[in-house]
Amino acid sequence: MEDRNSFSEAENKGPQPSAPQRVLITGGAGFIGSRLARRLLALGHEVSILDKFSPQIHGDNADLPADLRSSVQLFRGDVRDLELCRRALEGQTVLVHLAAETGTGQSMYRVRHYTEVNIGATAGLMELLLSGKFPLHTMVVASSRAIYGEGAAQCPAHGLVYPDARSRHTMEAGDFEPKCPHCGSATSMLPTSEEAPLHPSSLYGLTKQVQEQMVLMYAATLGINGFALRYQNVYGPGQSLKNPYTGILAIFSNQARANEPINIFEDGRESRDFVHIDDVVEATRLCVEASAQRPIALNVGTGVAVTVAEVVKHTLDYFSSSSQVTVTGAFRLGDIRHNCASVERLRATLGFVPSRQFAGGLREFLAWASGERLEARNYEQSLDEMRKAGLMYG
């Protein structure tokens, strides 16, 4: 009996980089998906998109960008719709599964919804693929650095450690740095590798952990390529400025442009690994075109951490904004303190490391944002929802 988990070079049945593929992108009308679709089309691949055009992400826009409408096949609807997914999968050779709910804070109180969309829909896709009716040879799933929780850190006494989620008690006292799980000492951040324990501190992170493990497990079961891409903080022109859960760059740019007050959580020294959309698309494209190999999880980041205070300063300077900035000490349960990815496995597997520097990428993003219309946002409403759920303090 043939070993379906064999990936020897002699029996390589995977795609070669130059071979045109038929690619289905779930969530393909979104920020990452639409940019990926353009890149794949330019390389000669056929692209289909499945998307429901969620108002939280797309606002009133319920259609593909004009340049994609005649170039891709659109399956309009919810990724939880099994019959829709079955039709969308017909004839596809690659599945890029981006469709998901992505709000870290929102996930903490919309528990069933996030579980149903992120885990339930992925389970449905796996059941369809197990039927053997589709010629799929590669799956790529959008995972997240949120699955690590606080990630790797350095303890003065114990070296490399993986701190637990921060407690409400210590953060209320203004003590925000993760603690060593062995001695309780404050730690300093280290780049987090894929070998780190998976210890999510938000429901969103937990759903992403289950989602990526499901995809990798069934890729191995089916004997096909499987990539779980642990995207760090993705940013760039084209991201939603309306969605209050899309990240701090959109929020701060909106506030700075309008000269509105900017309130910084914690002490402003929390940090993130910002990775440019072009680098994310390139890493994902390389997975689409990869030769056969064992299923694998890969960080997609820069390995460079930038503090929130730095982001605010650069944003204010760019817009010559008069926004009043207050470091509030407020915090949200489920948030992590620091974020910095090790990208060595990405380099070894795909021969690629994101190269866009944050300073230039931020200026590009802010230049694009400055040309967008300022519209009603729901950021303060999103914070009120967290307060009512007992998940935000200060």
Catalytic residues: 204
Distance (Å, whole) CA 35 – CA 29? 9
- CA 103, chain centre distance (Å): 10
**CB within 8 Å of 43: residues ≥ 6 apart:** 285, 289
What are the angstrom distances between the C-alpha of 278 and each of 202, 273, 299, 365? 27, 15, 15, 12
Residue among 356, 343, 273, 280 nearest 310 (CA) = 273
β-strand partners of 141 = 97, 228
Residue that the structure tokens 């114990």 belong to:
158
Distance (Å, whole) CA 340 – CA 306? 9
Distance (Å, whole) CA 313 – CA 25? 36
Dihedral sign for Cα 164, 212, 346, 233, please.
Answer: negative
Do residues 101 and 204 lie in contact, with contact meaning Cβ atoms separated by under 8 Å?
Answer: yes
